[in-house]
Amino acid sequence: GYQPTWWKEAVVYQIYPRSFKDSNGDGIGDIPGITSKLDYLQKLGVNVIWLSPHYDSPNADNGYDIRDYRKVMAEFGTMADFDTMLAGIKQRHMRLIIDLVVNHTSDEHHWFVESRKSKDNPYRDYYFWRDGKPGPAGPDGKTRMLPPNNDPSFFSGSAWQFDSATEQYYLHYFAVKQPDLNWDNPKVREEVYSLMRFWLDKGVDGFRMDVIPLISKNPAFPDLTPDQLHNYGNAYANGPHMHDYLQEMNRNVMAKYDVMTVGEALGISLEQTPLMVGENRHELNMIFNFDAIRSNREGIKLKPFDLLMLKAIYTHHAEVLDTHSWDTVFLSNHDNPRIVSTFGDDSAEFRVPSAKLLATMLLTLRGTPFLYQGDELGMTNYPFRSINDFDDIEVKNAYKANVLTGKIPEETFIADLRHTSRDNSRTPMQWDESANGGFTTAAKPWLAENPNYTQINANAEVADPNSIYNYTRKLIDLRHAHQAFVYGEYKDLDPENKSIFAYTRALGSDRYLVVLNFSSGPVAYTLPAKVKVDSLVLSNLDSAGLVTDTFNLAGWEARIYKLK
Ligand code: ISL
Ligand code: CA
């Protein structure tokens, strides 16, 4: 049997604070801006807000580089603003989870400022410092230093940075300004548990844990093999003490509060997942597995979407993760392009139905659904034209490493990033038809608003009963009204069908059928004989009171039926 829990029944909405709502006209989204939109979120019906980092940061990676874990980023407001927001969230019966970024800090965090000063500084072992390797001699006959090993950084180049103060290298899996913390040092772990308690004692309801599988490293730092270099994320994840540290964290922190935790499980396979989220493991409640969201990606290139592969992934999830190891469902976040542009069809004809179809799927599959800000409006990718249109450090570094060195032609690079850049989902929220989409009164927001805000915006959609926003609201209501969508068994009715995704969710006698046409053309779909439809519950087109065994589905049509 299953254990009913609030975080299993919740619908989560991710806010990227920099891009949500600017309250003071400086062009940057902020916490009072979020507070001013809580009614909007409550009306949508979401239960939990996941807030991307709101901490003091020099913003090398938009807040994923934290300088002070106990301070609010000045651009976002004050601690009083945070408290007001949290109170507003609770008043509306919603909850808040915050981003826990503790694989690394900013190089401006005082731990690192101390650590880099000298080899015997008390904070030296908070990070990984290693001697370089002597390399071949240069033209002057002097030996050149090489990094301690061949680990690459996710943001291009070596994961080791030479620091002249002590003539050693420090480890940074991400930007040079994001040194990795040494979790083998018990003092580091105590610091992390203590800052977690600081926020939990304020009343936050849990954490989304950034790249949490990377926290445990092999201190010998052997070179990666050529095979490992192809997928270094996997090589970095799942280190020797990862489970020990998560269990210790759980015992010391989570076990003492009623909280939810979701780990960003970079490098963790589905087969390894039950070890992190199994009820009896006492580690995390759920994780983000990237198989689905990256099913049509190869590096910075978008591959053609393959429905058969996506269905196989969800079925595989249902097989591996039972009710004792909970799952998440998501196809977008701040690291990925817009859902409708990537998995749907953002053309004028199909943007609305395909965005609704994707929402139908996310909110009726097994696992806690995570919606990303703006997806409830069907916001689309941005028409990037040149490197100057981008902000993201990942793009800027990759441009230097690949375009400026002649490895990738400029046009190819920009054309690929137009489809896959993280900045696609970081353009500001489109609130209304006024200048800059009502996001800011500044002349220029920190990242340009998508010019389609005049057509696509919250103001218009809240007022339109047939909008993506109001359809998403109905879906959330439906999920909340019927536990079959939360706890029900999942079955794919036709895994080999290349355009239709048809599945049932069943809890006892409460049984539903979801039929999704993942193509732009009409498709006739005949139900298996044993599936008997009772009545239509919801559809994204006004197709259909029709109840027969063969459905004639229009392009991107989605229907939910009650079964007999
Ligand atoms: O988005 C990616 C590549 O386009 C991933 O490699 C991403 O960097 C990875 O999923 C880790 O993401 C998290 O940690 C990063 C931060 O930049 C991301 O925003 C965050 O979600 C470092 O903190
Ligand atoms: Ca602001």
Domain with residue 544: its CATH number is 2.60.40.1180
pLDDT at 547: 65
Query: Which ligand neighbours the alpha carbon of 32 most closely?
Result: 2
- Are 281 and 249 in contact by the 8 Å Cβ rule? The answer is no
Q: Which helix (H) or strand (E) holds 536?
A: strand 533-539
Is there a domain that residue 462 lies in? yes
Confidence label for 543 from pLDDT (cuts 50, 70 and 90) = low
Our answer on whether the CB atom of 101 is closer than 6 Å to any ligand 1 atom is yes
d(CA 253, CA 280) in angstroms, rounded, equals 17
Identify the CA nearest to 236 among candidates 167, 347, 153: 153
Question: Would you please indicate which residues are annotated as catalytic (active-site) residues?
Answer: 210, 264
For ligand 2, the distance from its centroid to the CA atom of residue 197, given in whole angstroms, is 28
Same domain, 26 and 77: yes
**CATH at residue 161:** 3.90.400.10
Please give the single-letter amino acid code of residue 457.
N
Residue 516 CB neighbours (<10 A): 25
- Position in ligand 1 atom list of the atom nearest CA 334: 19
Task: Return the residue whose CA atom lies nearest to atom 4 of ligand 1.
Answer: 335
**DSSP-derived 3-state class of residue 222:** coil
pLDDT at 61: 98
Domain count, the chain: 4
Can you point out the beta strands (E) in 152-254?
Answer: 160-163, 168-171, 206-209
Q: Is 174 in the pocket of ligand 1 (CB under 6 A)?
A: yes
3-state secondary structure of 377: helix
Q: Give pLDDT, residue 268.
A: 97
Q: What is the pLDDT of residues 89-130, one digit of tens each?
A: 999 999 999 999 999 999 999 999 999 999 999 999 999 999
Model ipTM value: 0.97
Q: Does 375 map to a domain?
A: yes
Please indicate, yes or no, whether residues 99 and 207 belong to a single structural domain of this protein.
yes
Ligand 1 pocket check for 423: Cβ under 6 Å: no
Does the Cβ of 210 fall within 6 Å of ligand 1? yes
Q: What are phi and psi of 478, to 5 degrees?
A: -65, -45
162 and 101 in one domain?
A: no
Structural domain contains residue 479: no
**Residue of the nearest CA to atom 3 in ligand 1?**
335
Residue 317 lies in a domain: yes
Residues 90 and 120 in one domain: no
Any ligand 1 atom below 6 A from CB of 266 = yes
> Ligand 1 center to residue 245 CA distance, Å?
21
- pLDDT bucket at 278, cuts 50 / 70 / 90: very high
Does 468 sit in the ligand 1 pocket, CB within 6 Å?
no
pLDDT surpassing 80 at residue 546: no
Same-domain status, 372 and 447: yes
Residue 177 lies in a domain: no
Same domain for 401 and 289?
no
List, for residues 291-334, the tens digit of each pLDDT value: 999 999 999 999 999 999 999 999 999 999 988 899 999 999 99
Nearest CA to ligand 1 atom 19: 335
Which residues, 6+ apart, have CB-to-CB distance to 472 below 8 Å?
44, 356, 359, 363, 371, 376
Measured in Å, residue 304 CA sits from the centre of ligand 1 at: 23
User: Residue 188 Cα, ligand 1 centroid: separation in angstroms?
Assistant: 22
Whole-number Å distance, alpha carbon 287 to ligand 1 midpoint, is 15
Is 370 in the same domain as 231?
yes
Best of 154, 294, 334 to mutate for ligand 1, by most ligand atoms within 8 A of CB? Answer: 154
pLDDT band at 544 (very low <50, low <70, confident <90, very high): low
pLDDT confidence of 545, banded at 50, 70, 90?
A: low
Q: Is the pTM of this model over 0.95?
A: yes
416 close to ligand 1 (CB < 6 Angstrom): no
User: Which bound ligand lies closest to the C-alpha atom of 19?
Assistant: 2
> Where do the H-state alpha helices sit in 10-101?
31-35, 38-44, 79-91
- Expressed as residue numbers, the domain containing 22 is 6-105+186-383+424-473
- Is 433 a pocket residue for ligand 1 (Cβ < 6 Å)? no
* Cα–ligand 2 centroid distance for 204 (angstroms): 23
Ligand found nearest the CA of 26: 2
Lookup result for tokens 């995704």: 501
Mean pLDDT of 369-390: 98
Contacts 24+ apart (CB under 8 A), 3-9: 3/279, 3/323, 4/483, 4/487, 6/47, 6/95, 6/260, 7/48, 7/206, 7/260, 7/285, 7/286, 7/326, 7/368, 8/326, 8/368, 8/486, 8/487, 9/47, 9/480, 9/483, 9/486
179 is a domain residue: no
Instruction: Count CB atoms within 10 A of the CB of residue 162.
Output: 14
Task: Show which of 445, 473, 501 is a domain's final residue.
Answer: 473
From residue 222, alpha-carbon distances to 146, 151, 218, 219 in Å are 14, 9, 8, 9
Nearest ligand to the CA atom of 441: 2
Answer yes or no: is 478 within a domain.
no
- Residues 34, 159, single domain; the answer is no
Pocket test for ligand 1, best of 103, 210, 291, 420 (most atoms within 8 A of CB): 210
